[in-house]
Chain A
């Protein structure tokens, strides 16, 4: 791929261009740090901070900081996991549609839980969780696999080797499985919010096809334990 040269382009593209153009690059200089949006972290008094946090604060005072992206905001309603999930649901850049589907899903979850709440006897009312955000987070946590498989070629043959996964990868797999499950295995006429709310509630109770898929992956990893030593990282 021909690397873009600084010479023919205007002032706007000169935000940051390194000597050698890497394939995965960002418009920010590498010294820019991520922004911290939550208000609570700025209201802590100095004494309560640990050594690391103090160093981090000093570093932030000196380095420039990236601009906050449009999906991030300090209001109580913006949640990074929810925005990540909305982005993964989005098709061809239609964020309006994805956002409305997400809010309809959360509304559906709330409705279903409230129905259950009002029908339940007195002693069980406290155990029913009505907050859709809590249900969403717990469901995602329950869907995350602990160990994954990766293809390693050795001696001409490709083996499925069990491999530990990073946090980001686990979250990504959980969200991906949920979305593919909702898009593929449903009746033709069911809307996405309905199907998604159903899947999320099942995942919250550790049931449903997504949890089954996670268990299948764990079993495969357990079965291929013998090849674990092929991993070199």
Chain B
């Protein structure tokens, strides 16, 4: 008898939704979990490793070793995952034996969404009542501004996961508007706990990138490297300390390599922004792209190399000036039925 290690229907959630009649009973899921754990131990024994400390990454490696597959799509290859990830979260049957539904909003069709809106509005009424009480007792209202920049609301997908039911775009925007109204009221601190369920912290951008330390070459001069790309051009730059401000590209001085003023301005932009024009030397190599793309690639490479020479605050200033982001704009593809990416064929009446 063939034993299914896992099913792939749940990875593409659309398919599972289409065959919605397949409701997984709780007993079925429990059995799948037991089988998964047993299979995990067997796999650990097969690989000669300790069954107690066998993590998901070890499972993935073991499966890739035992069942090598040349398929391109990662999701088509054999995989073994915990049943909670494989089978999507489904609601248990919402009505009892007599056919009467448990939830009072069942017949609206979106019971969890409407009950959520109901709860949020109840909290709002609470806050307003509290506000009225404070006004009646002549206590001044505290106007503390919540720090909006550090947190964001849940995305639509996260809300769908929380409610285990589909939420449409309009419904989602209405819910977010209601939450914003609730937060804007003066005494919203009372419901802080409830609001925190729906907000997530956004980390400060700067902490995501690691700045490399300076390297020293034979003469004792500090240098650092950076790489940059723009359109099709890729460039590498090595920025040396204690220099005279000479910049060399592919062995040629920038005055000869870039006859156009705009490109040279772009090359000097990072140095001029930090105020270090005569202090650094740069040796760059670039290939691909056109004249302006090469200049943009070198600009990005030099900016990335300069990060190691400079304090964290100045790195943040460089990022806010747009020097450290890779420009994602590329040539748009030509579409069938049109002459170019946007231009249509000449319209002829007959």
Q: How far is the CB of A159 from chain B (nearest CB, A)?
A: 29
B283 within 8 A of A: no
Cβ of A13: which chain B residues have Cβ within 8 Å of it?
A: 330, 333
Cβ of A37: which chain B residues have Cβ within 8 Å of it?
A: 273, 321-322
A226 within 8 A of B: no
Closest 8 CB pairs of A and B: A35-B322, A68-B322, A15-B328, A58-B149, A67-B327, A67-B325, A27-B328, A74-B273
A66 within 8 A of B: yes
Pairwise interchain contact A65-B322, C-beta atoms closer than 8 A: yes
The chain B residue sitting closest to A15, CB to CB, is B328
Pairwise interchain contact A70-B206, C-beta atoms closer than 8 A: no
Name A39-67 residues within 8 Å CB distance of B: 39, 42, 55, 58-67
Pairwise interchain contact B317-A42, C-beta atoms closer than 8 A: yes
Give the size range of A's interface with the partner: 35 or more
With contact pairs A2-B335, A58-B147 given, residues A65 and B325 touching in the complex (Cβ less than 8 Å): yes
Q: How far is the CB of B2 from chain A (nearest CB, A)?
A: 32
Q: How far is the CB of A183 from chain B (nearest CB, A)?
A: 23
Pairwise interchain contact A1-B149, C-beta atoms closer than 8 A: no
A155 within 8 A of B: no
Q: How far is the CA of A88 from the CA of B264 in the complex (A)?
A: 22
Contact of B202 among A12, A15, A62 (CB under 8 A): A62
A4 within 8 A of B: yes
Q: How far is the CA of A61 from the CA of B204 in the complex (A)?
A: 6
Q: What are the interface flags for A57-101 relative to B under an 8 Å C-beta threshold, 1 for contact and 0 otherwise?
A: 011111111111011111101100000000000000001100100
Q: How far is the CB of A186 from chain B (nearest CB, A)?
A: 27
A16 within 8 A of B: yes
Cβ of B269: which chain A residues have Cβ within 8 Å of it?
A: 68, 73-75
Contact of B295 among A70, A78, A95 (CB under 8 A): A70
The chain A residue sitting closest to B341, CB to CB, is A4
Cβ of A66: which chain B residues have Cβ within 8 Å of it?
A: 322, 325
How many residues on chain B are close to A (CB under 8 Å)? 41
Q: How far is the CA of A99 from the CA of B268 in the complex (A)?
A: 19
Give me 13 other A-B pairs in contact (C-beta within 8 A), A2-B335, A39-B275, A64-B205 excluded. A2-B336, A4-B333, A4-B335, A13-B330, A15-B328, A27-B330, A28-B328, A37-B322, A58-B147, A62-B149, A67-B323, A70-B296, A73-B266
Name B286-305 residues within 8 Å CB distance of A: 292, 295-296, 300
With contact pairs A13-B330, A35-B321 given, residues A62 and B204 touching in the complex (Cβ less than 8 Å): yes
B96 within 8 A of A: no
Cβ of B316: which chain A residues have Cβ within 8 Å of it?
A: 61
B11 within 8 A of A: no
Contact of A59 among B149, B260, B319, B328 (CB under 8 A): B149
Cβ of A72: which chain B residues have Cβ within 8 Å of it?
A: 322
Q: Which residues of B contact A (CB under 8 A)?
A: 147-150, 202-206, 260-262, 265-266, 268-269, 272-273, 275, 292, 295-296, 300, 316-317, 319-323, 325-330, 333, 335-338
The chain B residue sitting closest to A61, CB to CB, is B204
A222 within 8 A of B: no
Q: Which of A37, A67, A99 has the most CB of B within 10 A?
A: A67
Q: Which of B260, B273, B275, B335 has the most CB of A within 10 A?
A: B273
Cβ of A99: which chain B residues have Cβ within 8 Å of it?
A: 260-262
Cβ of B275: which chain A residues have Cβ within 8 Å of it?
A: 39
Cβ of A70: which chain B residues have Cβ within 8 Å of it?
A: 262, 266, 292, 295-296
Cβ of B262: which chain A residues have Cβ within 8 Å of it?
A: 70-71, 95, 99
Q: How far is the CA of A2 from the CA of B150 in the complex (A)?
A: 39
The chain B residue sitting closest to A42, CB to CB, is B317
Q: How far is the CA of A4 from the CA of B341 in the complex (A)?
A: 10
Q: How far is the CA of A77 from the CA of B262 in the complex (A)?
A: 11
The chain A residue sitting closest to B325, CB to CB, is A67
Q: How far is the CA of A65 from the CA of B328 in the complex (A)?
A: 12
Q: How far is the CA of A16 from the CA of B275 in the complex (A)?
A: 34
A115 within 8 A of B: no
Q: How far is the CA of A97 from the CA of B268 in the complex (A)?
A: 22
Cβ of B206: which chain A residues have Cβ within 8 Å of it?
A: 61
Q: How far is the CA of A13 from the CA of B272 in the complex (A)?
A: 32
Cβ of B202: which chain A residues have Cβ within 8 Å of it?
A: 62
Q: How far is the CA of A62 from the CA of B338 in the complex (A)?
A: 40
Q: How far is the CA of A39 from the CA of B147 in the complex (A)?
A: 27
Cβ of A27: which chain B residues have Cβ within 8 Å of it?
A: 328-330
Cβ of B337: which chain A residues have Cβ within 8 Å of it?
A: 2
